[in-house]
Amino acid sequence: MTETVVRADGTPETPGTRHPARPRRTSGTGRPAWSLLVLLIAALVATPVVAVVVEAVTSTSLALPRGLGSMVVTTVALMVGVGLGTLVVGGGLAWLVTAYRFPLRDMLVWLLVLPLAMPAYILGFVFLSTFDISGPVQTGLRSVFGPDVWTPDVRSLPGAIIVMSLTLYPYVYLLARAALVEQAPGTYDAARTLGASRARAFWKVLLPLARPSLAAGLALVMMEVLTDFATVQYFGVQTVSVGVYLVWHGLFNFHAATQLSALVLLFAVAVLAGERLMRGRARYHQKGGRGRGLEPYRLTGWRGWGATLLCVLALGAGFVVPVARLLVWAVGDAVADPGSLLDPRFLEYLVNSTVVAAIAALVCVLLALTMGHALRLGGGRVVRTASQLTTFGYAVPGAVVGIGVLIAFAALDSALRKMGVPGGTGLLVTGSVLGILYAYVVRFLAPAYQAVDASFAKISPTMTLSAMSLGASPRRILARVHLPLVRPGVAVALVLVMIDAVKELPIVLLLRPFGFTTVSVWVYELASENFWRQAALPALVIVAVATVPVFFLFRQVRLVDPHRKVG
């Protein structure tokens, strides 16, 4: 029998079982070593961000670009639009593949994550070149219906919302799906036996239970939207991030750029606060073990194929069509210049991309695990705050994080010089991949932590307490209790960071040492000069590289089939 206990602090479900005023954890019982570790991680991750903020604050002049007000409004509109879009698409698809059986479902379950593998800077261009005024779609329409045929304005806010929703929905999908698989079964059954219809059980039970995961997914989406520059620029949507770019590159005013970045950071604070709010004061955790799993309902006939079609449509728009277009270009390019396929540097770039992304993913997951674990051991408010601080890096545009890393190390160097330490850190940052890795961790710890934390949230605290009382040391609890139980979250975290890191461009561009080129830099080199056809092949390589972890890890975690038992 599994049963999910939903408790809202202060409103115990059984009289006399809970204290109204009992806080989750108080200081004093935490493990100093683990708490210290979290504080260290937070300090490490916060440093570059703080460096940027300090730079922004200490600047004497305040140079804000014209139209800042409308940039703020546009940013909010974009965030809300994409938030709703991803919620509907991601949440809906997660429900569909979990609650129903239909043709090709087992394959679609993991295929639906693939749009994540598509970098926004590639997708934006592919979409515009396909659907904008000079693209084949509108050209075709004009040739059929004459030059005055009405066509929607693709390069617009709605256009950007649609494209971003189609690429970013997997964040919500992944976390919602994990939540549904991990915790739904018992509660859902309970609701159904209480006479609730499937739909009612979904709205009243599953949705509230999945809320922390949905909130976490949405927070990731919002932060991606906040820091995106490429897509919004393609679509002519002036967000605050575009403002950062404008003042930096157009006004040559780096200080003003840091000031605007601080504004982006404020948005991030709002997003994270919103996430907390959405999680509510309620705590969710699963009691007992994995259940039978949500017994999927078989959809037959046109309903089944209808469900398949829905998934295929989402997948097609966010992945298949752009990949197809890239393929057409790549083949065209290969035909025109067969030599380009055999460039020996392909392999080197590929190795660079994957190795750095893999290391970054591992480091991020280890840090996220450390934080989640330390919190569970009873770190108290300071540790909790510290671990939340680490997620801010995700809301800072990559180029700004990169600059933050540079500033931080420059400051460290001059401090070392003042203290009379010879040598300093030298070119530790830009002389090796350490700078890139560091910036990756700053930026991508958030998705890792969100995913791991969402899994931790589903472990009942009594589980940890039981383990403690059985004499298990914190390390043993991590290895034997927490790690096995948060494995789905760990897998999701690895996938998210890997994919993000493989796609990441501005950080690599800025911090890479001489001779270090990744596939994304290679794409950018070509794309910035508008060699789109030549860029198609490396772009496909990125997509392929980002696809591998999705496939591999989905097999590993067996998110595909909750019925298979772990252990």
Partner 1 sequence: MNPALTPVTGATTPALVLDDVTKTYGGTVAASSLDLTAAPGELVTLIGPSGCGKSTTLRLVAGLERPDAGTIRIAGDVVAGGRTWQPPERRRVGLVFQDHALFPHLTVAQNVAFGLDKMPRRERTARVGEVLELVRLGHLASRYPHELSGGEQQRVALARALAPRPAVVLLDEPFSSLDENLRAQVRADTVAVLRETGTTAMLVTHDQTEALSIGDRVVVMRDGVIEQADTPEKVFEAPATRFVASFMGDADFLPAHVRDALLTCEIGVVSTVPGWANCDVDVDVVLRPHEVALTLDPESKAHVVAVEYHGAFVLHTVQLASGRTLRSWQPHGVRHPVGTAVAVSVVPGITPTLLVGDEAVTQPPPPR
Partner 2 sequence: MRRTSLVAAALALSAAVSGCGVLGIGEEPADLQVYSARHYDLEEAFADFTDETGITVDFLYGDDAELLQRLKAEGAETPADVYMTVDAGNLWKAAQDDELAPLKSAELDGAVPADLRDPQGRWYGLALRARTVAYNPDAVDPSEFDTKDTYADLADPKWKGRLCMRDETEAYTQSLVASLIDLYGREKTLGIVEGWVANDVEIMSNDILLLEALDSGACDVALVNHYYYARELTENPDLNVKLFWASQDGAGTHANISGAGVVESSDNPKQAQQLLEWLATDGQSAFVDGNHEYPVNPDVEPEQLIKGFGEFKRMPIDAEAYGDLNAEATDLLAEAGYQ
* Interface with partner 1 (CB under 8 A): 1-3, 5, 12, 14-23, 26, 28-29, 31, 287-291, 378, 460, 462-463, 465-473, 476, 480-481, 484-485, 565-567
CB of 563 to partner 2, least distance (A): 21
Structure tokens at 398: 């990559």
CB of 12 to partner 2, least distance (A): 35
Judged by beta carbon distances under 5 to 8 A according to partner kind, the member of partner 1, partner 2, none in contact with residue 29 is partner 1
CB of 410 to partner 2, least distance (A): 5
Three-state secondary structure call for residue 285: strand
Q: Which of residues 340 and 517 has its CB atom nearest to partner 2 in the complex?
A: 517
* Burial profile 408-427: b = 16 or more Cβ within 10 angstroms, e = fewer: bbeebbeeeeeeeeeebeee
Within 374-393, the residues that bind partner 2 by CB under 8 A are none
Judged by beta carbon distances under 5 to 8 A according to partner kind, the member of partner 1, partner 2, none in contact with residue 296 is none
Judged by beta carbon distances under 5 to 8 A according to partner kind, the member of partner 2, partner 1, none in contact with residue 250 is partner 2
Q: Which of residues 111 and 439 has its CB atom nearest to partner 2 in the complex?
A: 439
Q: Please choose, out of 1-9, 75-83, 281-289, 481-489, the segment that lies near partner 2 by the rule CB under 8 A.
A: 481-489
Residues 292 and 563: beta-carbon distance below 8 Å: yes
Judged by beta carbon distances under 5 to 8 A according to partner kind, the member of partner 2, partner 1, none in contact with residue 516 is partner 2
Judged by beta carbon distances under 5 to 8 A according to partner kind, the member of partner 2, partner 1, none in contact with residue 521 is partner 2
Judged by beta carbon distances under 5 to 8 A according to partner kind, the member of partner 2, partner 1, none in contact with residue 362 is partner 2
How would you write 131-193 as a 3-class SS string? Answer: HCCCCHHHHHHHHHHCCCCCCCCCCCHHHHHHHHHHHHHHHHHHHHHHHHHHHHHHHHHHHHH
Q: Which of residues 222 and 481 has its CB atom nearest to partner 1 in the complex?
A: 481
Within 16-55, the residues that bind partner 2 by CB under 8 A are none
Q: Give, as one character, the DSSP assignment of residue 459.
A: B
Give me the half-sphere count of Cα atoms (radius 13 Å) on the Cβ side of residue 525. Answer: 12
Nearest to 294 by CA among 456, 179, 195: 179
Query: What's the gap between Cα 69 and its chain centre?
Result: 27
Distance of CA 228 to CAs 152, 381, 541, Å?
23, 32, 21
Judged by beta carbon distances under 5 to 8 A according to partner kind, the member of partner 1, partner 2, none in contact with residue 125 is partner 2
User: Which residues have C-beta within 8 Å of that of residue 131, sequence separation ≥ 6?
Assistant: 137, 138, 154, 159
**C-alpha–C-alpha distance, residues 94 and 509, integer Å:** 35
Residue in this structure with the two tokens 């420059």, named with its chain if needed: 410
CB of 540 to partner 2, least distance (A): 19
Helix/strand/coil percent split, the chain, to 5: 70, 5, 25
Q: Which of residues 391 and 518 has its CB atom nearest to partner 2 in the complex?
A: 518
List the beta bridge partners of residue 6.
284
CB of 412 to partner 2, least distance (A): 11
Q: Which of 1, 32, 58, 252 lies at the binding interface for partner 2 (CB under 8 A)?
A: 252
Please state whether beta strands 3-8 and 282-287 pair in parallel, antiparallel, or not at all (unpaired). Answer: antiparallel
Within 518-537, the residues that bind partner 2 by CB under 8 A are 521, 525, 528-530, 532
Give the end-to-end CA distance of the chain in Å, rounded to a whole number.
Answer: 18
CB of 551 to partner 2, least distance (A): 19
Q: Which of residues 22 and 480 has its CB atom nearest to partner 2 in the complex?
A: 480
Within 269-288, the residues that bind partner 2 by CB under 8 A are none
Q: Which of residues 76 and 366 has its CB atom nearest to partner 2 in the complex?
A: 366
CB of 527 to partner 1, least distance (A): 46
Please state whether beta strands 282-287 and 100-101 pair in parallel, antiparallel, or not at all (unpaired). Answer: unpaired
CB of 80 to partner 1, least distance (A): 37
Judged by beta carbon distances under 5 to 8 A according to partner kind, the member of partner 1, partner 2, none in contact with residue 16 is partner 1
Judged by beta carbon distances under 5 to 8 A according to partner kind, the member of partner 2, partner 1, none in contact with residue 65 is partner 2
User: Which residues have C-beta within 8 Å of that of residue 60, sequence separation ≥ 6?
Assistant: none
Judged by beta carbon distances under 5 to 8 A according to partner kind, the member of partner 2, partner 1, none in contact with residue 339 is none
Structure tokens at 385: 């705050």
355 forms part of the interface with partner 2 (CB under 8 A) = yes
User: Which residues have C-beta within 8 Å of that of residue 286, sequence separation ≥ 6?
Assistant: 2, 4, 182, 183, 186, 458, 459, 460
